[in-house]
Amino acid sequence: MNPFDELSIEESVRIREKKAAPGGVEDICVISAGPAKAADVLRTAMAMGADRAIHVDVKEGEDLEPLTVAKLLKQAVEKEKSNLVILGKQSIDDDAGQTGQMLAGLLGWSQATQASKVEFGEADSVSVTKEVDGGVETVKGKLPMIITTDLRLNEPRYASLPNIMKAKKKPLEKKTLQDFGVENQRRLKVLKVTEPAPRQGGGKVEDVDGLVAKLKELGAI
């Protein structure tokens, strides 16, 4: 599971456990689009505390771009009548960091990205502390809302063995993109993927004088 997504599930479960949201949490649904092994990830999420899962089957190698994922999630959110969507701030493979913001735009909802703290107030208000360049800022929105998680939000729990067993009995719905009326339309063509030019280590020096001399030689000081 993408590490930022673990944070999303943990936060959802904590909101329920701490009764942080007025009115409580009725349902935690997890959704993933990907090949068969995405179902394993969904089982892990249910072992962490999610109630049910939706697996949108996408063939191996047919990755979805963030815009397509956002369109899919928009349909899912409307169908499931969710009023809070928590996503990771970025996936650690394509590092795009877009899906949550795109979903918020498509739904016309409030968004709070890179959250390090989420607090609920009266009348469905939500205050979110966000990590920004140089520090943090706090914004206040209202449900329905999109939140993306940052590293400092929480520490995800490990799924215990009994919970892993229980998760096997929780409902996992299998769907396709067509069920949501979404096409996998790719806008970006990957022309090539290369390995970055390797950096050659320059070796070690014996002492601090050697370090200073080498830095001078390299023009760094």
Task: For the CB of residue 178, give the shortest distance to another protein in the complex, in Å.
Answer: 19
Q: Which residue is it, tokens 């936060």?
A: 11
Beta bridge partners of 84: 145
Q: Which of residues 161-180 bind another protein (CB under 8 A)?
A: none
Query: Quick one: 155 or 178, whose CB is closer to another protein?
Result: 155
Q: Which of residues 106-135 bind another protein (CB under 8 A)?
A: 106, 109-114, 116, 127, 130-135
Under rule CB under 8 A, residue 88 binds another protein: yes
Whether a cis peptide bond, with omega within 30° of 0, leads into 156 is no
Determine which residue in the list 14, 19, 75, 76 makes contact with another protein, applying CB under 8 A. 76
Site for another protein (CB under 8 A): how many residues?
Answer: 116
**Beta-carbon count within 10 A of 46 CB:** 25
Select from 100, 138, 146, 134 the least CA-distant residue to 119.
Answer: 138
Task: For the CB of residue 19, give the shortest distance to another protein in the complex, in Å.
Answer: 13
**CA 157 and chain centroid, separation:** 16
Under rule CB under 8 A, residue 181 binds another protein: no
